[in-house]
Amino acid sequence: MTFQPVIPLAGYAGWRFLQRTMESQQTAFQESAPVKRDTDYFREKIGSIKTAEDLVADRRLLSVALGAYGLDDDINNKYFIERVLGDGIASDDALSNRLSDKRYFAFSLAFGLGNDAVPRTGLTFFADDIIARYEQKQFALSVGDQDEDMRLALNVEGALKDIVANNTSENAQWFSVLGNAPLRKVIETALGLPSSIGRIDLDQQLTSFKDRAQSVFGSDKVADLAADQTQEDLIRLFLVRSQAEQSAQINSGNIALSLLQSGPVFNAL
Residue 252: pLDDT over 60: no
Of 104, 108, 136, 134, the C-alpha closest to 120 is 108
Residue 250 has a pLDDT of 62
- Give the model's confidence band at 100: pLDDT under 50 very low, under 70 low, under 90 confident, else very high: confident
Provide the terminal-to-terminal Cα distance of the chain, rounded to the nearest Å: 56
Higher pLDDT, 249 or 142: 142
Residue 269 has a pLDDT of 38
Higher pLDDT, 229 or 166: 229
Instruction: Give the whole-angstrom CA distance, residue 208 versus residue 203.
Output: 9
Higher pLDDT, 253 or 37: 37
Residue 132 has a pLDDT of 96
Residue 256 has a pLDDT of 47
Range scoring the smallest mean pLDDT among 118-132, 139-153, 255-269 = 255-269
Instruction: Give the whole-angstrom CA distance, residue 168 versus residue 108.
Output: 18
Higher pLDDT, 269 or 101: 101
Range scoring the smallest mean pLDDT among 112-116, 118-122, 206-210 = 112-116
Half-sphere exposure of 206 (CA within 13 A, CB side): 12
Residue 267 has a pLDDT of 46
Residue 259: pLDDT over 90: no
Work out the mean pLDDT of the chain and round it to a whole number: 91
Residue 102 has a pLDDT of 85
Give the CA radius of gyration of the chain: 21
Residue 199, exposed/middle/buried by CB under 10 A (0-12, 13-18, 19+)? exposed
Tell me the pTM: 0.82
Residue 207 has a pLDDT of 97
Instruction: Give the whole-angstrom CA distance, residue 104 versus residue 120.
Output: 16
Residue 122: pLDDT over 60: yes
**Mean pLDDT (whole number) for 127-138:** 96
Q: Could you read off the pLDDT of 45-84 as tens digits, one per residue? A: 999 999 999 999 999 999 999 999 999 999 999 999 999 9
Of 31, 30, 9, the C-alpha closest to 18 is 9
Instruction: Give the whole-angstrom CA distance, residue 190 versus residue 236.
Output: 8
